[in-house]
Amino acid sequence: MAFDQLSSYQIGKMLDVSRQAVNQWIDKGYIPSYRTPGGHRRVRREDFISFLNSRQIPIPDILQRAIDQERRSAAPRIILVDDDAEFLAVLRQAIQEQLPEARIEAYESGYDALVAIGQGLPDLLVLDIKMPKIDGVEVCRRLKRNDATRRLPVMIVSAHDTPEWRESLQALKVQAIFSKGEPLLEIARQIRQFIETKAATLKI
């Protein structure tokens, strides 16, 4: 985590004051600190921010940029795939309302989604079944054949929920299968629940 622990020199540079001034603030108890085994002072980032807030000092740009970058990196990434652009837009909005911090990418082609996945694994793939050129089952098969992508969680949202499709998808161990006839709010809530459960599991 960037700037998780700060030295007196770093704080002084951020606030355009001397290291000695920062050490005086620490000695007076304005900023909590601790010493490393080597005897150097260190300030936890949250304590530094509390100090700034208590004195109505804006967070320095370099620190704010680091915090913003961490938030973006930690935000869940979800890929949606459906050749129905109108449904894709509505589904994206429903999920974004449930997960405002999520980075959601939408594609109308299975090929485009596979390219995006190849550039970096998302936290979840939400996929239609019946699409031109390459359908959802084939997308899942290609992902499962690749060691780098076979554990990628996949959920299906489709109007073509036939027993044959469902059997093929269950064999590929998708996380869930939804019909487009189900309320979008409920689908979005279950996607949020999955993402939150996954995040909690990773923290254990």
Residue 177 β-bridge partners: 156
User: Looking at the predicted structure, is the pLDDT value of residue 57 above 80?
Assistant: yes
Cα–Cα distance for residue pair 121/19, rounded to 1 Å = 43
Q: Where are the alpha helices (DSSP H) in the chain?
A: 8-15, 19-27, 45-54, 61-74, 85-98, 110-119, 136-145, 163-171, 184-203
- Contact 139/81 with Cβ under 8 angstroms? yes
Q: Which CATH class is domain 75-203?
A: alpha beta
User: Looking at the predicted structure, is the pLDDT value of residue 203 above 60?
Assistant: no
pLDDT for residue 201 = 66
Q: Could you read off the pLDDT of 107-162 as tens digits, one per residue?
A: 999 999 999 999 889 999 999 988 888 888 899 999 989 888 989 999 999 887 66
Does CATH place domain 5-71 in 1.10.10.10?
no
pLDDT for residue 204 = 45
- Contact 105/79 with Cβ under 8 angstroms? yes
> Band of the pLDDT at 47, cuts 50, 70, 90?
very high
Q: Where are the domains of the chain?
A: 5-71, 75-203
- Equal fold, 5-71 vs 75-203: no
Instruction: Indicate the residue type of 163.
Output: P
Percentage above 90 pLDDT, the chain: 62
> Band of the pLDDT at 66, cuts 50, 70, 90?
confident
